[in-house]
Amino acid sequence: MPKKRILIIDDELDFCRMIKMNLETKGDFNVDFATNSKKGVGLAKKLKPDLILLDIRMPNVDGFAVLKELKNSSQTMSIPVVMLTALADMDSQIQAAQLYTEDYLTKPIDTQALKLKIDEVLRRAKF
């Protein structure tokens, strides 16, 4: 069975590297990442990953704007997105849900819980 491709869009390079290492070591995933929103959208269109992990708080263009762009593009609209953020407020969670995210997880992230959530979202995406 081929490895699932995950794309991380997050401006924190160390966070991206840590999640990439953990998911590739402990999961059956190939992980790419982008540390800015423009590169992230471009990679999503090019790679067509099985799932996107998207940060909300990024410089220049926030994660909600990136999510809107992804969901409005025929190339990326069907890719499941899980929001990863330090924002734990209810308004952000509601906004993410209204923009069709599959889930919303707050940082700091437990990598085992993240892997389980990714597996769950990918199973749901098959149907």
Give the tens place of pLDDT for each residue, 90-100.
Answer: 676 666 666 67
CATH 3.20.20.140 fits 4-117, yes or no: no
The model carries a pTM of: 0.90
Domain boundaries, the chain: 4-117
In this predicted structure, what is the pLDDT of residue 29?
Answer: 95
Give the tens place of pLDDT for each residue, 35-91.
Answer: 999 999 999 999 999 999 999 888 888 888 999 999 999 999 999 999 987 766 667
> Strand ranges (DSSP E) for 69-117?
81-85, 103-106
Cα separation, 61 vs 5, in Å, equals 24
Give the tens place of pLDDT for each residue, 98-109.
Answer: 667 888 888 888
